[in-house]
Every structure is written in structure tokens, then in C-alpha cells.
């Protein structure tokens, strides 16, 4: 854009000097002719040149440059409204499910575990874990691989899986032992036991919720050709604009990827810098709400991809600069990866990555493949960082970052 304005300005200067030279030459060489008609045309040409220069100067003065260090950073968002449950409580009770034989077997098992010191003390009660490792807030369990599930519980799991037609067989068992208590006030409690069955998978650590605009429409989770792959389970939810992001939909996912903003930054919507600053504030509010609902989730904000429209790219680059500054200031743990792989030498969206090679905004098959590859690598890298952040953590099997494709 800048080179084009320079070329036009130089061209206008050359034309202006040329018109003055022609006028002077004609007056000196042809003094006996009436040059009023030609002079009028030259005057009109000079007027048009001046108007053109004024319009280009005006246009260049309105360009969105990169934000200066002194420019406004949105203040921290204060969220005072209470958190609401994202789904209705699940209530499905079945009394006396265990047979008398199963009850006696489990009671004997817990007695042996208690007497042999297998339980770990944890906030007024005791716990022991079997099967797959499972971490939860406040856990004091060892990082070592748990022992296999006892046969008494394994038999119960088989029956539960069949009776409830479970798609996945529980593979992690947490036993809670609450000791008897007596206060002398009539509120005495006998020893209580609870057994929690869970389906745990390492793949869940790479579960992805992709909230994005139409540029993510062709991204399909699952197995098979052209899909994200079994190693990265997930879901894509449409959100055409930043304001449409619903934080409640992020609950239950280990990784949340936000890809919104292109439609907000179309030329017909952007009225100036204030509009873009407000848009960044909206994104900040959405991130704050997601962090409250999903404090342990890894968040990824994808910079708005440049298009092949130079005017729109000015808005995009200005927005990305402000978002990067806002994230580093308030959300340093949120990933904000570069998008250079999608650009050509002119800083535009590479035509080879666009839809049909002539779409100014949307990614084609090659662009989607590149996008999915980078998304999986970002999630994999974040997972590795989490794994190595705890020096006491035992060895963990990590799968290939590219996964199934």
C-alpha cells in the first residue's frame, strides 16, 4: 500500500511539471496563436492533478499504523456475576444395586486395604486409586502408576458396563473411606465407603474445542482421511464474530482454540482505531470468563489471518498487534502463535492456500491442512510443557504430535 501511494505521488509530481513545461514551451514557440483553449485544458489538468494529490494525502493520513507503546491497553475485566452451571445436574439413582455377595466382597476388600495401610490421608478421609492415573484438585496420591484394579471391583465393572450399555469400560477406580465419627450430639456417623468408576484416556489431554468462523468450517474431528485424527479428539463450534463466543461451551475440554475476528474487521465495519480497541476489549472479556469456567484448560488465540485485501489487512495487523499486547499483559499463559506460514512474499494470504486459488479470505484444502497441522503441534507442545513443569512427575507416554491423519 505504501509503495503504491509513493508511486502515485511521484507520478502526479511528474505530470504537474510536464504540464508547466508544455505551457511555457508553447507560449515561447507559438506567440502568434490563440492558446486560450489549450491553456484552459492545461489548467483543468493541473486542477485534476491537485485534487488527486489531496485525495492520496488524505488517504495516507487515515492508514492504521502499528500501535505505539503509549496506546491504550484495555483495563482488567472485573466479572462480578456468579458462575452458572453449564448443564443440569445429573440425577439417576438406583438403590441396592449391589448383590449381597458383591457387597460382602467389597467390604472385605476395603477392610484388608485399611488394615494393611494402603489408603492415603486426604482432608479428613482416606483414598486409594487403582487402574489408570487420575489427577484432581487437592489430590495427595502418589505420582507412581497405580496398581491394577482388584478382581472384586473388576467383576463389578463388567456388570455396570453391560447394564448401562457404556461405550467405554471404566478403567480407573477411586475408593474413598470416611471414618466413623461421634460428636455426642446425636449426629454420629458410621464408617462410609464410596467407589468412583471413571473412563480415563491419555487422548483426553489433547481434546480440542475449536471455536471459529467460516475459515474453520472444513475442519472435521475424527478418524480417517482429511480429518484431525484419533489422537486429537474434539469439536468445532461456529462463531462468526468475537462477540458470539460462548465461554460456557468450553467446559470439559483440555484445549480451547479461538479463531474469530475476520468478519469483525471487514472494511465496512471498521470505523477507526476506537472500534478495534473495543473489539480487543470484547475478546479480553471472553477470555476472562473462559478462565473462570475452565481454569485448567489451555487456551490458544489464533491471530486473524491476513487476507488478499490490502485495506482489510491494515485492520487485521493493527488488531493482532493490540491482541498480542493485551495477552502478554493479562494472559501470559495464553498461546498466540505466529501466522507467517500462511503469507506470501508481499505479506498477503498465499493464493496457493486459498479456496480455488482466487478467494481473498477463505482457506482451501492446502490451507486447512496447514492449519490443522499447526494446531496439533501447538497443542502437543503445550502438553509437553505441562508434563515437564512438574519435576516430580513420573514418566509418561507421549504420542506423536502429528497423530492420525
Contacts with 322 (C-beta within 8 Å, 6 or more apart), sequence order: 67, 71, 73, 276, 277, 280
> What pLDDT does 240 receive?
93
Q: Reduce the DSSP state of residue 110 to 3 states and report it.
A: helix
Give the residue carrying C-alpha cell 472385605: 108
Greatest Cα pair distance, the chain, in angstroms, is 128
> 258 - beta bridge partners?
211, 301
CB atoms within 10 A of CB 162: 10
Residue 142, pLDDT above cutoff 90: no
- The region of weakest confidence among 119-128, 131-140, 236-245, 372-381 is 131-140
What pLDDT band is residue 403 in, cutting at 50, 70 and 90?
Answer: very low
> What pLDDT does 383 receive?
84
> What pLDDT does 40 receive?
74
Kindly list the domain boundaries of the chain, sorted by start residue: 100-200, 203-389
Measured distance CA(129)–CA(125) in Å, rounded: 14
Q: If DSSP states are collapsed to H, E and C, what string results for 49-62?
A: HHHHHHHHHHHHHC
Burial bucket for residue 183 (CB in 10 Å: 0-12, 13-18, 19+): exposed
> What pLDDT does 49 receive?
66
Residue 137: left if φ>0, alpha if ψ -120 to 50, beta else—which one? beta
Superfamily covering domain 203-389: SGNH hydrolase (3.40.50.1110)
Residue 275, pLDDT above cutoff 90: yes
Residue 62, pLDDT above cutoff 70: no
- The region of weakest confidence among 77-91, 110-124, 175-189, 330-344 is 77-91
CB atoms within 10 A of CB 282: 17
- The region of weakest confidence among 15-19, 140-144, 193-197, 268-272 is 15-19
Polymer length of the chain:
405
Burial bucket for residue 144 (CB in 10 Å: 0-12, 13-18, 19+): exposed
> What pLDDT does 147 receive?
92
Mean pLDDT of 261-279: 93
> What pLDDT does 78 receive?
63
Residue 16, pLDDT above cutoff 80: no
> What pLDDT does 46 receive?
73
pLDDT (tens digit, 9 = 90+) per residue, 162-212?
998 888 899 999 999 998 876 555 566 788 899 999 988 777 788 899 999
> What pLDDT does 179 receive?
84
CA 304 to chain centre: 12
Average pLDDT over the chain, rounded to an integer: 80
> What pLDDT does 8 receive?
47
Mean pLDDT of 257-282: 94
Mean pLDDT of 117-128: 89
CB-based contact 401:381 (threshold 8 Å): yes
CB-based contact 228:220 (threshold 8 Å): yes
CB-based contact 1:310 (threshold 8 Å): yes
CB atoms within 10 A of CB 33: 10
CB atoms within 10 A of CB 278: 12
pTM for this structure? 0.63
Measured distance CA(232)–CA(250) in Å, rounded: 16
Contacts with 348 (C-beta within 8 Å, 6 or more apart), sequence order: 306, 307, 308, 310, 313
CB-based contact 177:126 (threshold 8 Å): yes
What percentage of the chain reaches a pLDDT higher than 90?
43
Q: Are strands 192-198 and 172-178 parallel, antiparallel or unpaired?
A: antiparallel
Amino acid at each position: 500500500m505504501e509503495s503504491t501511494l509513493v508511486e502515485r505521488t511521484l507520478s502526479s509530481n511528474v505530470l504537474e511539471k510536464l504540464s508547466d513545461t508544455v505551457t511555457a514551451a508553447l507560449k515561447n514557440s507559438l506567440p502568434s496563436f490563440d492558446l486560450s483553449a489549450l491553456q484552459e485544458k492545461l489548467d483543468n489538468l493541473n486542477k485534476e492533478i491537485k485534487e488527486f494529490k489531496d485525495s492520496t494525502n488524505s488517504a495516507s493520513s487515515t492508514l492504521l499504523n502499528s500501535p505505539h507503546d503509549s496506546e491504550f491497553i484495555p483495563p482488567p475485566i472485573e466479572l462480578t456475576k456468579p458462575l452458572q452451571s453449564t448443564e443440569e445436574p445429573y440425577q439417576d439413582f438406583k438403590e441396592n444395586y449391589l448383590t449381597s455377595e458383591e457387597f460382602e466382597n467389597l467390604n472385605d476388600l476395603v477392610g484388608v486395604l485399611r488394615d494393611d495401610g494402603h489408603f492415603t490421608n486426604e482432608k479428613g478421609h482416606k483414598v486409594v486409586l487403582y487402574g489408570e492415573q487420575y489427577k484432581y484438585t487437592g489430590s495427595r496420591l502418589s505420582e507412581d502408576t497405580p496398581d491394577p484394579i482388584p478382581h472384586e471391583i473388576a467383576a463389578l465393572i463388567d456388570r455396570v458396563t453391560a447394564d448401562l450399555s457404556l461405550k467405554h469400560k471404566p478403567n480407573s477406580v477411586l475408593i474413598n473411606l470416611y471414618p466413623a465419627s461421634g460428636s455426642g450430639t446425636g449426629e454420629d456417623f458410621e464408617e462410609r465407603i464410596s467407589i468412583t468408576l471413571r473412563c480415563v484416556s491419555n487422548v483426553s489431554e489433547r481434546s480440542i474445542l475449536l471455536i471459529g468462523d467460516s475459515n474453520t468450517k472444513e475442519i472435521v474431528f475424527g478418524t480417517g482421511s482429511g480429518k484431525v485424527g484419533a489422537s486429537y479428539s474434539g469439536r468445532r463450534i461456529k462463531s462468526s464474530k468475537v462477540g458470539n463466543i460462548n465461554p460456557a461451551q468450553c467446559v470439559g475440554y483440555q484445549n480451547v482454540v479461538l479463531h474469530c475476528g475476520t468478519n469483525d474487521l471487514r472494511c465496512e465495519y471498521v470505523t477507526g482505531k476506537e472500534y478495534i480497541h473495543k473489539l480487543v476489549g470484547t475478546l479480553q472479556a471472553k477470555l476472562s470468563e473462559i478462565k473462570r469456567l475452565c481454569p485448567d484448560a489451555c487456551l490458544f488465540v489464533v491471530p486473524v489471518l491476513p487476507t488478499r485485501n490490502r485495506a482489510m489487512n491494515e485492520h487485521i495487523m493493527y488488531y493482532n498487534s493490540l491482541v498480542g499486547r493485551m495477552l502478554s499483559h493479562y494472559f501470559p499463559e495464553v498461546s498466540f502463535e505466529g501466522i507467517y506460514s500462511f503469507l506470501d512474499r508481499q505479506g498477503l494470504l498465499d493464493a496457493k492456500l486459498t479456496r480455488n486459488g482466487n478467494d481473498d479470505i477463505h482457506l482451501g484444502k492446502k490451507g486447512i491442512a496447514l492449519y490443522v497441522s499447526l494446531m496439533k503441534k501447538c497443542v502437543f507442545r503445550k502438553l509437553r510443557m505441562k508434563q515437564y513443569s512438574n519435576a516430580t512427575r513420573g514418566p509418561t507416554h507421549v504420542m506423536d504430535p502429528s497423530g492420525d491423519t
